[in-house]
Every structure is written in structure tokens, then in C-alpha cells.
């Protein structure tokens, strides 16, 4: 391989409340990176295509009911089943832009009342992101964007609890971006943050690390 030793892709995660704009921005980010001739892929969790993902999807659309602990572990399992491929892609130099990750897992389950440390435990050992960008918007403003469908969790009262959970789990390394700005302004800010991170990872001096730290 022509890569510099240790050179790799970056693991970039976008988090935020429902309707904060994660999916829109992930698509824009990948297009931007490709335009910069950086190999990049868009990933999302839950990945509803796997067998586990189909169980999650049935739960979210209320076609199945599951105990809170059980669905938490399924969301985790859905990340574990992608872990090896994730590592392979990163090491081969591809940057992954990931729409929700372990933080969604912990924020949503703890918002239901599950113990935060218990929620983190099943995430320990997954790859740690190089960058977490949090699309910051109030639950009220997010709800005004409309489009809340019939999926479980798409209710203002619950989103307020999720916002509190995110506050409890974030750390100083997270980049907060005001998600109430026009979509192009959010996009510009994300580009600046992400390109720095990608450059660092390309230099080969930043080994992959593991959650939860
Ligand atoms: N969940 C969990 O419990 N545990 C886990 O481990 C994981 C997830 C991974 C499904 O997730 C549910 O699973 C989710 C968390 C839970 N439940 N909830 N709530 P999902 O990712 O599949 O949810 P989604 O419905 O695809 O995405 P989203 O979060 O609801 O939306 P978004 O991706 O953040 O926003 P968007 O689709 O890009 O934009 C929403 C709308 O706003 C759209 O009309 C845009 O055009 C508009 N928009 C976007 N940006 C702007 C700006 N800047 N200004 C104005 N309008 C904007
Ligand atoms: Mg989305």
C-alpha cells in the first residue's frame, strides 16, 4: 500500500436530537470530502439492513414491543456486528461519517430511566470516534421543523429527556455546532472541523482508540 505508516481514515460521528439535521449534514459532508479527493463513506446507526437491524426497525415503528434493556442491547449488537468492517475501512484509509453512534444508545436508553453506567457497558471496546460533532438545537425548535412521524421517541416530552441525557454524557472533546442556523452555515462549520480531523488521522500519528474513555 502507498499509505504512510499508520495513516488512516477518520471516524467522525454526528449526534443530536431528532430533526437536528444529522442525516442532511452527513450526506453533505461525504459529498464535500469526496470533492476534496478524500475517500469517505456515509454510515448510520441503527443499520436497519442486518437481521438485528430489522428487529430494531420493527421496535421503532411499534410493530414489536421489547423490554428496555433488550432493545438497548440490540442497538449495541448492531454496532458490534459492524465493528470489524469499520476498523478495516478506517485502516484502509477511508473516512467514515457516522449518523448516530454509541452516544445515541446511551442517551436514549438512559432517558428512559436505565442506569447510565449499565448503558455504557455494552459499548465498551467499540471504536472511539476521532470527532463527535453535536448538532445543538432545543427540543422545541427541533419539533417546529415538523416531520415527526409515528416512530417511537418522536415526541417532544421524550426529546427533552434525551437532551438532558446528552448533556450528562458529553465531554470537552465534543464540538457543539448551532444547528438552528441555516443549513449551509451548519455545513460550512462542520467542514472546517472535519477537515482538520481528517488531516490529523492522515498523518498517521493518531492510533485508533476504544470506547468508553
Ligand atoms: N436510537 C436509539 O435509541 N439507540 C441507538 O443506539 C441509536 C438510535 C443509534 C432512529 O434513529 C431512532 O433510534 C432515533 C434514536 C434511536 N429515535 N429518535 N428520536 P434515526 O437516526 O433513524 O432517526 P431519523 O428519523 O432518521 O433521523 P432524525 O434524527 O429524526 O433527524 P435528523 O437526521 O437529525 O435530521 P434531518 O433528517 O437531516 O432533518 C430533519 C428535517 O429538518 C428535514 O426536513 C430537513 O430538511 C430539515 N433541516 C435540516 N437542517 C435544517 C436547518 N439547518 N434548518 C432548517 N431545516 C433543517
Ligand atoms: Mg436522521
- Taking the alpha carbons of 115, 128, 56, 61 in that order, is the dihedral positive or negative? positive
Length, in residues, of the chain: 213
Coil/strand/helix, residue 136: strand
* Ligand 1 contact, 150 CB (< 6 A): no
Residues within 5 Å of ion ligand 2, judged at the Cβ atom = 23
For 113-171, what is each residue's pLDDT tens digit?
999 999 999 999 999 999 999 999 999 999 999 777 778 999 999 999 999 999 999 99
For 55-109, what is each residue's pLDDT tens digit?
999 999 999 999 999 999 999 999 999 999 999 999 999 999 999 999 999 999 9
What spacing in Å lies between the alpha carbon of 19 and ligand 2's midpoint?
7
Task: Report the alpha-carbon distance of residue 42 to residue 23 in Å, rounded.
Answer: 9
What spacing in Å lies between the alpha carbon of 20 and ligand 2's midpoint?
8
Number of the ligand closest to the Cα of 48: 1
| pLDDT for residue 2 | 46
* Ligand 1 contact, 21 CB (< 6 A): yes
The architecture that CATH gives domain 11-202 is 3-Layer(aba) Sandwich (3.40)
Task: Report the alpha-carbon distance of residue 22 to residue 187 in Å, rounded.
Answer: 10
> Which atom of ligand 1 lies at the shortest distance from residue 20's CA?
34
> Which atom of ligand 1 lies at the shortest distance from residue 75's CA?
6
Taking all residues of the chain, what is their mean pLDDT, rounded to a whole number? 96
Q: Return the exposure string of 169-200: e unless at least 16 CB atoms fall within 10 Å of the residue's CB, then b.
A: beeeebbebebbeeeeebbebbbeebbebbee
What spacing in Å lies between the alpha carbon of 4 and ligand 1's midpoint?
37
Number of the ligand closest to the Cα of 44: 1
Per domain, the residue ranges of the chain are 11-202
For 39-53, what is each residue's pLDDT tens digit?
999 999 999 999 999
ipTM of the complex: 0.97
Amino acid at each position: 500500500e502507498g499509505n504512510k505508516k499508520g495513516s488512516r481514515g477518520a471516524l467522525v460521528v454526528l449526534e443530536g436530537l431528532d430533526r437536528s439535521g444529522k442525516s442532511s449534514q452527513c450526506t453533505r459532508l461525504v459529498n464535500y470530502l469526496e470533492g476534496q479527493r478524500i475517500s469517505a463513506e456515509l454510515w448510520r446507526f441503527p443499520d436497519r439492513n442486518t437481521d438485528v437491524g430489522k428487529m430494531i426497525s420493527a421496535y421503532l415503528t411499534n410493530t414489536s414491543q421489547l423490554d428496555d434493556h433488550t432493545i438497548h442491547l440490540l442497538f449495541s449488537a448492531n454496532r458490534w456486528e459492524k465493528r470489524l468492517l469499520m476498523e478495516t475501512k478506517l485502516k484502509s484509509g477511508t473516512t467514515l461519517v457516522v449518523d448516530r453512534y454509541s452516544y445515541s444508545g446511551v442517551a436514549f436508553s438512559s432517558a428512559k430511566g436505565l442506569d447510565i453506567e449499565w448503558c455504557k457497558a455494552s459499548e465498551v471496546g467499540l471504536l472511539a470516534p476521532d470527532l463527535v460533532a453535536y448538532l445543538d438545537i432545543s427540543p422545541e425548535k427541533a419539533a417546529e421543523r415538523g416531520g415527526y412521524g409515528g416512530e417511537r421517541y418522536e415526541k417532544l416530552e421524550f426529546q427533552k429527556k434525551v437532551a438532558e441525557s446528552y448533556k450528562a454524557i458529553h465531554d470537552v472533546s465534543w464540538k457543539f455546532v448551532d444547528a438552528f442556523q441555516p443549513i449551509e452555515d451548519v455545513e460550512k462549520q462542520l467542514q472546517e472541523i472535519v477537515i482538520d480531523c481528517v488531516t490529523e488521522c492522515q498523518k498517521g500519528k493518531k492510533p485508533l482508540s476504544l470506547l468508553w474513555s
